[in-house]
Amino acid sequence: MTSEVRVPTLGESVTEATVATWFKKPGDQVEVDEMLCELETDKVTVEVPSPIAGTLADIVAAEGETVGVDALLANISEGGEKPATKQEKPAAAAKVEAPTAGGDAIDVMVPTLGESVTEATISTWFKKVGDTVEADEMLCELETDKVSVEVPAPAAGTLTEILFQEGATVEANGKLAVIAQGAGGVAAPAPKADAPAAASAAPASGDIEDAPSAKKAMAEAGITRDQVTGTGRDGRVMKDDVAKAVAAGTAAAKSAPAAAPRAPSAPQDASREERVKMTRLRQTIAKRLKDSQNTAAMLTTYNEVDMTEIMALRNEYKDLFLKKHGVKLGFMSFFTKACIHALHEVPEVNAEIDGTDVVYKNYVNMGIAAGTPTGLVVPVIKDAQDMSFATIEKSIGEMGAKARDGKLSMAEMQGGTFTISNGGVYGSLMSSPILNPPQSGILGMHKIQDRPMAINGQVVIRPMMYLALSYDHRIVDGKGAVTFLVRVKEALEDPRRLLMDL
């Protein structure tokens, strides 16, 4: 049996390290917890112990190589049974274990995260070490830069190890936790009810390596380790814990006389700001939007559309539409159809640049931007040019529900050729949408507002909406962009044009 040696958690915000020294070479005998190698990060030096006793079979990462968290370092061929003392391993900061009374150990692995996605952040653990779990019961939730992924239990048993805590970054197919299967797993939680036993199993605070950033923050605040309650693994103090301690007024000045006048200022200053790490989704949104501005020659042109005919048509047929198709008739299907109609006439808006080539798409995969509690996502309606109004409305409704629940798959957000963004639902009167690379066009919808318009020599009140088309000027000329918007406007103001392809 072979056991893998992987890079342990390196500390807050530290995602990679350099292999500094190997103390063993392939073929050497090693004991459990014997130091195999030493890793260097930009903050600390980390020793990697052997998880089992056996023979070092091979070394995957040589000295001088840079490795990420949970990357494979080496393999050990087991020589005899695993020592029962593994749960007393000093390096408790790297993983948490619960005692078991037997049963097969089942590894909980990071699932495949999707095309081009290689890592994720653990956002929430639903279970803790010692809990009994059922097969397929959700253990934790991972957050990637695009979607949230739930990790189910591969088998029924007891959760005996959690290798990475909330906030840690894990690689695709990396090991997350261990479940003791069968009767042994069920018996594991029993010692937990015994308070003295639980206390003795807990690691001593002196053995816990606090986050380097937390140590620095404590030094700057002039507080000691005992004044801070650690929320990290095994009570490890994180930077946020120090900030909370200061905000709660536990920080004391070095001199007693100065403590009285300074006491009110600390909570007041701390309460005025809050530092929260950006989610992976928000980081990706920021990067992609900035990349779009840096890469494309983006320009925006505007027009306005009279929504009178669309609103009248919708009001006339909405009840019959709902009765027949089981979905409400909204404005998005009209705009999708109008854009498809205009893209056929101005195909460069539906194209993309690939090096020195222009790739024209003979289909329309329509991206529909959707706001969620965690950020903007763009699910894609594939082959929208072949869909009816009802199919488009159903697809948009299904994708929107998945987006709000964080259930969108990678495949459902890839392959878009054009995007529609509706800022009007939030009250936006006019804006310039940013391109969604590698697409060359995005239509911005806005709020419908009654405005006085000159119609046949008379001033009348009409429901008007501003439209904005942002486009890549490297491939789309001004004439093409204006023509596109005019065709969208004409189709919406006279929907009969869509039926006759005019």
Cα 69 → chain centroid: 18
Cα 470 → chain centroid: 27
> Which among 241, 473, 494, 501 is annotated as catalytic?
473
User: Whose CA is closest to 73, among 134, 1, 138, 24?
Assistant: 24
Give the span between the Cα atoms of 189 and 196, in whole angstroms.
Answer: 14
Cα 345 → chain centroid: 38
Q: Are 108 and 175 in contact (CB under 8 A)?
A: yes
Q: Are 109 and 177 in contact (CB under 8 A)?
A: no
**Which tokens is 85 given?**
């003392």
477: annotated active-site residue: yes
One DSSP character per residue, 43-81 reads: S-EEEEE-SSSEEEEEESS-TT-EEETT-EEEEEEE-SS
How many other β-carbons are positioned within 10 Å of the β-carbon of residue 501? 8
Give the span between the Cα atoms of 435 and 486, in whole angstroms.
Answer: 20
Residues paired with residue 120 on neighbouring β-strands, in sequence order:
170
User: Whose CA is closest to 23, among 2, 41, 5, 44?
Assistant: 5
Q: Are 417 and 364 in contact (CB under 8 A)?
A: yes
Tokens 């005992």 label which residue?
A: 226
> Which among 42, 386, 405, 477 is annotated as catalytic?
477
DSSP state of 206: G
446: annotated active-site residue: no
Long-range contacts of 18-22 (CB under 8 A, 24+ apart): 18/64, 18/65, 18/66, 18/67, 19/61, 19/62, 19/63, 19/64, 19/65, 19/67, 19/73, 20/45, 20/63, 21/63, 22/59, 22/62, 22/63
Q: Are 153 and 179 in contact (CB under 8 A)?
A: yes
User: Whose CA is closest to 365, among 345, 394, 386?
Assistant: 386
Tokens 């409305």 label which residue?
A: 393
User: Rounded to the nearest 10 degrees, how much is the dihedral formed by the CA atoms of 446, 450, 455, 458?
Assistant: -160
Q: Output Rg (C-alpha) for the chain, integer angstroms.
A: 30
Which residues are CB-contacts of 304 (< 8 A; sequence separation ≥ 6)?
A: 464, 465, 466, 467, 489
Q: Which residues are catalytic?
A: 473, 477
